[in-house]
């Protein structure tokens, strides 16, 4: 049985295990996450405590997870090619979207994204923004397939990667 719901503090152990297994299964064309660096256990717990993490469960096991921030990411404010400059609070930002390796290529990511879009609509958001690491072709293919539009590349600084380029995308609700 499938279930979509916000994460709970009680999910902490399962969420940590989920992201550890996702990171262990990364291939060259992945998000370039690093165990213990990004995402940290503290960040994941913070998202759970703040009701920002959403889960897709299959038979009680986490099959997909993602974090929705209900405001623009400050890193993205430097971008100057958004189709329309929206208010900070009119945007949701999707981070840490992942599907467990056992559940990939089953259409879960597309359905999960549609459910996340509905959460954003209910919150009155006008758009969803996200970033993808260059070379993460599977993620870009997924996001484009559900209607995200490429906006621009942006140079940012991440603790685990240093100065790097991210590819920004927007989905209009």
Instruction: Give tens-digit pLDDT for 30-63.
Output: 677 878 878 889 999 999 999 899 999 999 999 9
Which tokens in the block code for residue 151?
Answer: 């906006």
Q: What are phi and psi of 117, to 5 degrees?
A: -60, -40
The alpha-helical segments, DSSP class H, found in the chain are 12-24, 41-49, 108-122, 137-145
- Rounded Cα gap, residues 159 and 144, in angstroms: 28
pLDDT, position 135:
87
pLDDT exceeds 80 at position 98: yes
Q: What is the mean pLDDT of residues 95-123?
A: 97
pLDDT, position 29:
63
Q: What is the mean pLDDT of residues 149-165?
A: 89
Query: Which CATH number covers residue 81?
Result: 3.40.630.30
* SS3 assignment, position 134: coil
Range of the domain at 64: 2-172
Report the number of distinct structural domains present in the chain.
1
């Amino acid at each position: 049985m499938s279930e979509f719901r916000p994460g709970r503090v009680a999910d902490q152990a399962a969420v940590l295990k989920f992201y550890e297994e996702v990171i262990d299964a990364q291939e060259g064309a992945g998000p370039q996450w690093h165990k213990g660096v990004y995402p940290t256990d503290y960040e994941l717990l913070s998202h759970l405590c703040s009701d920002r993490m959403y889960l897709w469960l299959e038979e009680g096991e986490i099959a997909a997870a993602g974090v929705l921030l209900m405001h623009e990411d400050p890193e993205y404010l430097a971008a100057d090619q958004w189709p329309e400059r929206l208010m900070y609070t009119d945007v949701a930002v999707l981070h840490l979207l992942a599907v467990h390796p056992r559940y990939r290529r089953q259409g879960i990511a597309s359905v999960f994204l549609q459910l996340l879009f509905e959460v954003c609509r209910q919150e009155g958001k006008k758009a969803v923004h996200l970033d993808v690491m260059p070379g993460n072709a599977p993620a870009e293919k997924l996001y484009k397939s559900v209607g995200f539009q490429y906006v621009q590349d942006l140079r940012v600084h991440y603790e685990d990667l240093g100065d790097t380029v991210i590819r920004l995308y927007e989905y209009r609700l």
